[in-house]
Amino acid sequence: MLYMHDLWVNWFEGEENGYNVCHFHEWRKEDGIELVDQIPLLVIEEELFRFIENDLQELPKGLLDDVHKRTYMKKNQERKTIDYAAVVTDGKSVLVFDTLGYSLPVKKSRLIPRQERLVFDMVEGKRASIYHLENPAPKEYHILSLSPEKMAGLTRRERQLKQLLMMALDHLRHSDHPEEVGYWLTEWDPSQYGIIKGLTAESAWHRLYYGAIEGWSQQHEDLCGKLIKGQPFFETMWQSENQKSTQHLNSQN
């Protein structure tokens, strides 16, 4: 079995979508980067790689058995054994996972570019190990878990704010004030004012949702900022993300 040593990881916990497991250029100072002392490296088939990257379902038992207690972390000069963790690659992309003792890839990380290149050098010419997935449930995307296509090309900040916007739209749809939907659709697209009055709340919400789900722009950001006003949970998320992204930009300058 191949092993990697002194690996820098930046864990993203509970992320079912790979676009939220940030690549190195989007890492932030406050992310809490850790050092892995030793970890196995597996070459796997592309289907399984995408499954691990973009889902939170049970991993194949054979894979878990192969990596059991083969990873060590160093914390405060102490070497700690990790139950199930590995670096996996399909020869095109690289991902690190840690199950936290479960059978799901609960924590995921990318690698720094130098170590990612090392992975490709180490696996060159190697065949993929075959692991069988036991009846995986089909991946489903929805308003609170958008498809990769809807997040393509966005920065970390934009993805976070777009997810916040979708949460706010979902909350709007189930609020006790359906008449508000027409107001927010007018805010989003004033040109529709003439027909909005004749729409049901459900029809107006769908127009708003299908308009806002595409891309990201200042128009999206303005709508998000207005829509979350007066909702402490959403406002805290908004402020936190804007503060972190500002700090990240300042640290790069």
Domain extent listing, the chain: 2-123, 148-252
What average pLDDT score do residues 234-249 get?
85
Q: How far apart are CA 133 and CA 138, in angstroms?
A: 12
Instruction: Assign 3-state DSSP to the chain and report helix, strand, coil percentages, each to 5.
Output: 45, 20, 35
Residue-wise pLDDT for 59-97, tens only, equals 999 999 999 999 999 877 888 999 999 999 999 999 999
Extract the tokens encoding 117: 């290149």
> In the chain, how many H helices and how many E strands?
10, 7
In whole angstroms, give the CA distance from residue 236 to residue 225.
11
With 90 as the cut, is the pLDDT of residue 248 above it? no
Q: What is the pLDDT of residue 253?
A: 60
Q: Is the pLDDT of residue 252 over 70?
A: no
What one-character DSSP code corresponds to residue 136?
P
Q: Residue 41: its pLDDT value, please?
A: 98
Show the tokens assigned to 178: 């359906």
Indicate if the pLDDT at residue 249 is higher than 80.
no
For residue range 5-59, what is the model confidence (pLDDT) as tens digits?
999 999 999 999 999 999 999 999 889 899 999 999 999 999 999 999 999 999 9
47/40 Cα distance (integer angstroms)? 20
Q: What is the pLDDT of residue 98?
A: 98
Q: What's the residue count for the chain?
A: 253
